Amino acid sequence: MLSVAQEIGETLAAMPARDKAPLIVFRSTMPPGTMEGKIIPALTALAGAPGERYEIAFNPEFLRESTAIADYYAPAKIVIGEREAGVSQKLRGLYAGIEAPIFEMPFTAAEMVKLTDNSFHALKVAFGNEVGRIALDLSVDPQHVIDAFLADTRLNISPAYFRPGGPFGGSCLPKDLRAVNALASSRGIQIPVIASALPSNAAHKSFLADRVMAQAAPGTTILLLGLSFKSDTDDLRESPLIDLAETLIGKGYDLRIFDPDLKGRTLIGANLRFVEEHLPHLSRLLVEDISDVSDPGLVVIGKPMKAVTNTLDPSLSVINMALL
């Protein structure tokens, strides 16, 4: 790619100036940061910066071998990475008459989209095969299992859960992952993809805690908006927000928690046992109103609370975990 960019740069440098600058379009899959860190500097060194003699774009392809032509005329999406918004408009001409959503974004985002797609395709194959290995060992037809799985397009094969944000928690996902891992282990079946879900979730919890602590020194008063794992419930079992609260308290932060779903601070059964084990002083940390917390140095939004967040002082430092 770098060699080609240098050849193009030499050609541009030798060309007379034109009224309309040519648009140089790169298609090959490349690591995020390549356009800005490698390609543009190579072109700039030979032909000057883009925007005068030429313009540059990144247009990753999503074509499968053996069906590339059909995929071109019926794409699921069109992705265009550009240096500045709107400078790659002429690239749309390649797709005239083709119905597909167009995503125009910075170079690095477009580069990452292609790698994200392929990573997920590989993940799907690996996941399906792990389910298949377990099913076969149980004398179950794997296709029956997967057909039923694929029938759910509301949660399973859908945008549901596919948003960067907080870790998963609650009484189902962690427990059932442990059950599947235990089942596979007891039968001598390796399922590294599924087995990695819990460690990955734990790493994300640490990542979020680190982001909070990077923006506030120990001793700072932090207001945590939300504690239960899901809005409109008081379920604290394996809530990642409990883990965050534990970490911040352990690191010396003055933590206050506001969660209107914990009505009356009445917890019973497994919910109560979990919080007593992990956050025994919860009652001291809960506040009835965010105005009860004077001058927090940092506000961490753990759950969607539009009615509350709209009232926050705009000068406050805020970390919205749902948006990373």
Report the distance separating Cα 199 and Cα 168, nearest Å.
Answer: 12
Which one of the listed residues 160, 172, 179, 270 is annotated catalytic?
172
Q: How many Å is the Cα radius of gyration of the chain?
A: 26
**Tokens 């790619």 sit at which residue?**
1
Lowest-pLDDT range of 79-83, 125-129, 167-171, 229-233: 229-233
Number of separate helices (H) and strands (E) present in the chain: 13, 8
| Highest mean pLDDT pick, 36-45, 168-177, 277-286 | 36-45
Give me the residue spans of the domains in the chain.
Answer: 2-107, 209-323
Spatial contact of 213 and 143, defined as CB atoms under 8 Å apart:
no
Residue type, 45: A
Alpha helices in the chain, H assignment, sequence order: 2-14, 34, 40-47, 68-73, 107-137, 142-150, 173-186, 192-195, 197-215, 240-250, 269-278, 282-285, 306-309
- Looking at the chain, the whole-number percentage of residues with pLDDT higher than 90 is 66
> Looking at the predicted structure, is the pLDDT value of residue 115 above 80?
yes
Domain 209-323 has CATH 3.40.50.300: no
Cβ atoms 300, 308 nearer than 8 A = no
Query: Alpha-carbon distance 273 to 216, whole Å?
Result: 31
Decide if 2-107 and 209-323 have a common fold.
yes
Can you tell me the distance from the alpha carbon of 74 to that of 11, in angstroms, rounded to the nearest whole number?
Answer: 34
- Tens digit of each residue's pLDDT (9 = 90 or more) over 235-268: 888 899 999 999 999 999 999 999 888 864 567 7
The CATH class for the domain spanning 2-107 reads alpha beta
Question: Which residues does residue 255 pair with via DSSP β-bridges, in sequence order?
Answer: 222
Q: Which of 69-73, 224-228, 244-248, 281-285 has the lowest mean pLDDT?
A: 281-285
Cβ neighbours of residue 68 closer than 8 Å, sequence gap 6 or more: none
pLDDT at position 265, please? 56
Separation CA 227–CA 305 (nearest Å): 12
The answer for residues whose C-beta is within 8 angstroms of residue 182's C-beta and 6 or more apart is none
Q: Rounded mean pLDDT of 181-204?
A: 96
Q: Residue 274 — pLDDT band, cuts 50, 70, 90?
A: confident
Residue 208 known to be catalytic: no
Diameter of the chain measured on Cα atoms: 79
Burial label, 132 (beta-carbon count in 10 A; 0-12, 13-18, 19+):
middle
